[in-house]
Amino acid sequence: MTTASTKAALDALRAHRAKTPSDMRAAFAADPGRFAAFSLGDGDLLLDWSKCAVDAETMRLLGEFATAAGVAARRDAMFSGQKINITENRAVLHTALRNPAGTSVLLDGIDVVPEVHAVLNAMRRFSDAVRDGSATGATGKKITDVVNIGIGGSDLGPVMATLALAPYHDGPRAHYVSNIDGAHMHDMLKGLSPETTLFIVASKTFTTVETMTNAETARNWIVAALGAAATGKHFAAVSTALDKVAAFGIAPERVFGFWDWVGGRYSLWSAIGLPIMIAIGADNFRAFLAGAHEMDRHFATRPLLENIPAVMGLVGFWHRVVCGYPARAVIPYDQRLARLPAYLQQLDMESNGKGVTLDGRAVATPTGPLVWGEPGTNGQHAFFQLLHQGTDIIPVEFLVAAQGHEPELKHHHDLLLANCLAQSEALMKGRTLDEAKSQMLAKGMKADEVDRIAPHRVFSGNRPSVTILYEKLDPRTLGRLIALYEHRVFVEGTLFDINSFDQWGVELGKELATALLPVVEGKKDAAGSDASTAGLVAHIRALRG
């Protein structure tokens, strides 16, 4: 809620902006301790935000704003199972999914940790059986391919994590079908054999039209090849809606539940992670959970200005609200984190793309930024031009491991690291007109040519970036990174004074799609639709003949 103290703290931050370093080269030259002052570590994990235009007073004022906004109290409320998702009257307890056995988290007086571990144990039994070949297909053949059918939070997390942990993948091949576009399912099935394929239907609600449509197509494919009785051996499900799963025909021992206190975009730690567990094995999956739990403890216990997710959230707030930057780019220098930007788009933008405060008023400040990205170094050869010389300033988040998984390809990793460091340095330092000119003169260019070209070679510099550095992308580290981002989104959402845990903004499109289906099918006319929609429908019909 906007109070006199949040208003005063925000006014102080805005007033302070003019006094923050505007020349980052000078800021580094003037203060040899700048990196130490604006970086934080936890074991091998390091966050460096020293290339952002902040000073000690900025951080102090951000800390005051966080206190005024009640970040620590809301964090504690989340961890303790209070119903902070006020529009759905739900607790927000994805953190309990990674609590070790023997700890406890009470929700309405009931400890949820034993239930969490009961499901994890059931997942382990099932994934072990699929992996060791004791859970075969209907014809007795070992499962070689697992296809997860889900979308949004029931897809993006497992897709991202399966790719990220490829070096640990020793189970059946993992595939993901999400899009309602039949091309997705069609192209996937083309390379598979029904006898050796297991489908996991993953949907929190078990009503999502994409997932249910794809699940029916998959069931038809199995039935056509192996007969109706084969379905049971080729399907499993993950859902909170156990009644709906039963109606689909999946046997209870192949259904893995979770709870309404786990948001879709926070659910990869739950049974939604089943395809990850089948791919990498239960022990690696446990290490992934343990990494996330480590970050939970860090977030829950460290003072806010020594707290990596809190600082990332504060710096994000600074860039978005005080500096007015509209977007941020997430650039993992790790090919196996190629799907991290897509995963973070849902985590961040579905959580913090909101326009009303917790008490239902229009927000007075910007909320979540546009989040986008691609792995480096590929992005360097595509959109980095805009990051360096475009007219908008877009803070960048670099992620990189000190070591790869391929010691025999160390040279590749050295080049990867050098490029990552070079990009953040270039964004910060830029290149002045004088530097551009002397470089060209040194290459022997004529003076009039130098004058003509030099302005095009100027980089403004002073473009902020943070770097997240860690030893190696193993299951524990991936767990820490994803939990770090979850908590950062939480911190920003609290600073924005919004509910990060609902997603009403995606509902209207779903309702209208349901209404438009009979129109597209030609069973109903477009009367009542706006002229654009009616015109598009007419054109589709004409094209379809």
381 is annotated as an active-site residue: yes
Q: State how far the Cα of 478 lies from the Cα of 467, in Å rounded to an integer.
A: 16
**Catalytic residue among 350, 397, 486, 492, which?**
350
Taking the complex as a whole, how short is the minimal distance between the CB of residue 200 and ligand F6P, in angstroms? 12
Cβ contact 117:97 at 8 Å:
no
List the catalytic residue out of 186, 412, 446, 510: 510
Nearest distance in Å: CB 400, ligand F6P: 28
Q: Which is nearer to ligand F6P, 508 or 543 (CB)?
A: 508
How far apart (Å, rounded) are the C-alpha atoms in residues 490 and 381? 33
If the CB atoms of residues 86 and 506 are measured against ligand F6P, the closer one turns out to be: 506
Say whether 411 is catalytic.
no
Q: What are phi and psi of 21, to 5 degrees?
A: -60, 130
Per the residue annotation, which of 381, 411, 443, 523 is the catalytic one? 381
The nearest distance, CB 152 to ligand F6P, in angstroms, is 3
Please, what is the minimum distance in Å from the beta carbon of residue 296 to ligand F6P? 21
Nearer to ligand F6P (CB atom), residue 203 or residue 284: 203
DSSP notation for 262-274: S-GGG-TTTGGGH
Task: Look up residue 375 and give its two tokens.
Answer: 């792995």
Please say which residue, 154 or 477, places its beta carbon nearer to ligand F6P. 154
Per residue, the 3-state secondary structure of 280-346, as one string, reads: HCHHHHHHHHHHHHHHHHHHHHCCHHHCHHHHHHHHHHHHHHHCCCCEEEEEECCHHHCCHHHHHHH
Q: Provide φ and ψ at 176, rounded to 5°.
A: -135, 130
The answer to whether 463 and 397 have CB atoms below 8 angstroms apart is no
Of 213 and 335, which has the nearer Cβ to ligand F6P? Answer: 213
Give least dist CB 486 to ligand F6P, A.
14
- CB-nearer residue toward ligand F6P: 350 or 397: 350
Question: Where does 44-112 have alpha helices with state H?
Answer: 56-69, 71-79
Smallest gap from Cβ 524 to ligand F6P, in A, equals 25
Q: Which of 318, 262, 287, 217 is nearest to 91 (CA)?
A: 262
CA dist 351 and 368 (Å) reads 8
Closest distance to ligand F6P from the beta carbon of 466 (Å) = 27
Closest to ligand F6P by CB, 66 or 123 = 123
Number of H helices, E strands in the chain: 23, 13
Residues 6+ apart with CB under 8 A from 43: none
The conformation of residue 122, written as its DSSP 8-state character, comes to H
350 is catalytic: yes
Given the rule CB under 6 A, which residues bind ligand F6P?
151-154, 203-205, 208, 211, 264-265, 350, 503, 506
Specify whether the CB–CB gap between 5 and 69 falls below 8 A.
no
Position of tokens 């949040």? 6
CA–CA distance, 205 with 212 (Å, rounded to integer):
10
Residues with catalytic annotation? 350, 381, 510
